[in-house]
Structures are given as structure tokens and as C-alpha cells.
Homo-oligomer: A and B are copies of this chain.
Amino acid sequence: MKAKARAHANIALIKYWGKEDEELSIPNNSSLSLTLEAFYTETEVEFSELISEDEFYLDNRKDDITLLKVSKFLDLFRDRLNIKTRAIVKSINYVPTAAGLASSASAFAALAAAANKASGLNLNDKALSTFARKGSGSATRSIYGGIVEWQKGDSDQTSYAIEIDDANWDIGMVVVLVNSNEKKISSTKAMKQTVLTSPYYPSWVKDSEKDLIDIKAAIKDRDIRKIGEISERNALKMHATMLAAKPPIMYFEPNSILVIQIVQQLREKGIAAYFTMDAGPNVKILCKLSDANTIKEDLLKSFDKKDIIVTKVGPKVQII
């Protein structure tokens, strides 16, 4: 009745942006991501007949706000098993700072895996991925390691992720944490606003399906430049849908643009470095793992050491 799991965060190279079905968290387009070793969440779930309410601790502190989402998520398991047993959930986020790198992907993947074991439901990875999806869209992908595709599907059962490459070759990421001066609009809200108001959104959905086909071919060839070019443009196309939303949504900060310029300069020097950005100001640089420290050196001229994290590709969710 007790289990602990570790799941890693992931960064999408082909972005998930916009839901076809809000309730079931089915996306409008398939996406593809790289699981990252350096960022992860460890979560312990203990089902117990001795308690009458769920309890949730985040980083050793009781968190009654997040508890609501956690309880609702545990209900997926309880409903399937037709039990009412409450649980104590303890979760630790291993991210270098609280500077806004999304942890909901690793959080819900770890919670799903721990609850799966502790409850005895014992879903396979594919089914677990559909469960994680209902906690947080990007958590769908964090069940797996390496390079992961979230196939959008068209129903609860068919919208899940699969590993398409173990990424056990020269590929990695440098994450630059860009502190924000700005009030943020959440990715959930930004997504909705884009779907509802951006004239570019339909083209985004259509184009991203093509990007996915192209990047899978490039991954097969281990062609880091091709993978990078497709990723970078896909990210910019996503941000472009937001700039065209009403009102416009912009996640670029001055320092985000500075990182982008550094990446462009690195490419001019012959280094295969490509940026991607999500619903926040941080910039993630896709590169050969063997180039990551050279890239870090360059970034150190403009950024603090603590804000630059080099990471290799991470493994699938695991019981620990």
C-alpha cells in the first residue's frame, strides 16, 4: 500500500499547444519531447485505512491547495479499483531553483507511477500514460525516457505516449533560467486564449503534424542540426500563435532574446545549438551533449552559473 517513484521532466521539441477535449486533456496535435535527467520529482504514495482525508506534502510542507488536484487524480485509481482508501502523498521537486521550470510533467508522472504501484492497479506504461495525461498534459510524456511521442489519439484510451528513441547518443540540453519581472499568464490560460482568439491557430495545428513527421525522420538519422531547426521553428510558430492572440501573449523577456542571440552566434561559429521556449521566459538549448560545456562557457559571460544547467537525456519513470 506504499510506493515511491521518480519521474523526470521533459521539454517538447514539437510543442503541445491547445486541447481538443478539455475534460479528457486530449490535445489538438501530437507532440514530441526529450526527457531530461537533471530535473525530476520523487513522490511517495501511501494508501491507509487509518486516515479519512487525503494529505499532500510538497517539499516537506503541507499543501492544501494542490491537494485538491492530487485527490482528484488519486480518484482515477480508486474509481478503477472501486475503493475509497485515502492516501498520504509526499512529493519532492528536484529542480535547481524555483525559477519557473514547469514541474507538473514530472510531478504527475511520478504521482501516477507511485499510485499505480501502491494501489496495486498495476497499469502498463501505456495505460499509465493516459492516467498521467489527466493530471497534466505534458505528464503524458514523462512516463517515458529518451525521446517520446505523445500521439494525440481521439479518445481517452488512444491519447498516450510512446518512446520512439532511447536517445542513447550524442544529444543533450542546456537550460538557461531567465528570471522574470513580469506577471505571468498560466500555460493553461494562454493555451485556451490562443485556441479561441488566434487567427494563426488552425495553421499551427496543421503545420505541427508535418513538423512531427519531419523530426521523426531526422531523429532516425540522428541529424542534430535538422532536429534543431525543426524544433526551433516549431517553438517560434507556437509563440507566434500567442502573439496573434487577443489580447496578445508574449513570454519573451529581454534575457530570453539574449540567449537566442547567443545561440545564433554559436551556430555562426559552427556549433549545433538550437533554442526552444515554453510558456515562460526560460530558454532550453538543444545540442550535442559533447558541445554542452562549450555552450555553457559562452553563456557564463552573460548569465550566473546557477542559472545554467547542462543535462543529458533522462530515463523513464521508475519505482525507487
A interface residues with partner B (beta carbon < 8 Å): 181-182, 199-200, 203-204, 206-207, 229, 232-233, 236-237, 239-241, 243-244, 246-248, 250, 252-258, 260-261, 264
A240 near B200 with CB under 8 A, answer yes
Question: Which chain B residues lie closer than 8 Å to A236 at the CB level?
Answer: 243-244, 248, 250
Question: Which chain B residues lie closer than 8 Å to A232 at the CB level?
Answer: 248
Question: Which chain B residues lie closer than 8 Å to A252 at the CB level?
Answer: 252, 257
Indicate how many identical chains form the complex.
2
Q: How many Å from the CB of A203 to the closest CB on chain B?
A: 4
Complex: A315 Cα to B260 Cα, angstroms: 40
B244 near A240 with CB under 8 A, answer yes
CB closest residue in chain B, given A281: B257
B254 near A258 with CB under 8 A, answer yes
Q: Report which of B181, B207, B244, B250 forms a contact with A237, defined as CB distance below 8 A.
A: B244
A-B CB proximity, top 10 nearest: A240-B240, A254-B254, A236-B243, A240-B243, A199-B203, A200-B200, A254-B257, A237-B244, A236-B248, A240-B244
A253 near B247 with CB under 8 A, answer no
Complex: A243 Cα to B207 Cα, angstroms: 14
CB closest residue in chain B, given A182: B261
Q: How many Å from the CB of A192 to the closest CB on chain B?
A: 18
B261 near A247 with CB under 8 A, answer no
CB closest residue in chain B, given A239: B243
Q: How many Å from the CB of A40 to the closest CB on chain B?
A: 31
Complex: A243 Cα to B255 Cα, angstroms: 18
CB closest residue in chain B, given A202: B203
Q: How many Å from the CB of A286 to the closest CB on chain B?
A: 15
B255 near A260 with CB under 8 A, answer no
A247 near B233 with CB under 8 A, answer yes
| Interface hub of A229, A236, A244, A264 (most chain B Cβ within 10 A) | A244
Question: Which chain B residues lie closer than 8 Å to A241 at the CB level?
Answer: 240
A199 near B237 with CB under 8 A, answer yes
B247 near A229 with CB under 8 A, answer yes
Complex: A74 Cα to B236 Cα, angstroms: 42
Q: Report which of B199, B233, B261, B264 forms a contact with A207, defined as CB distance below 8 A.
A: B199
Complex: A208 Cα to B252 Cα, angstroms: 24
B248 near A233 with CB under 8 A, answer yes
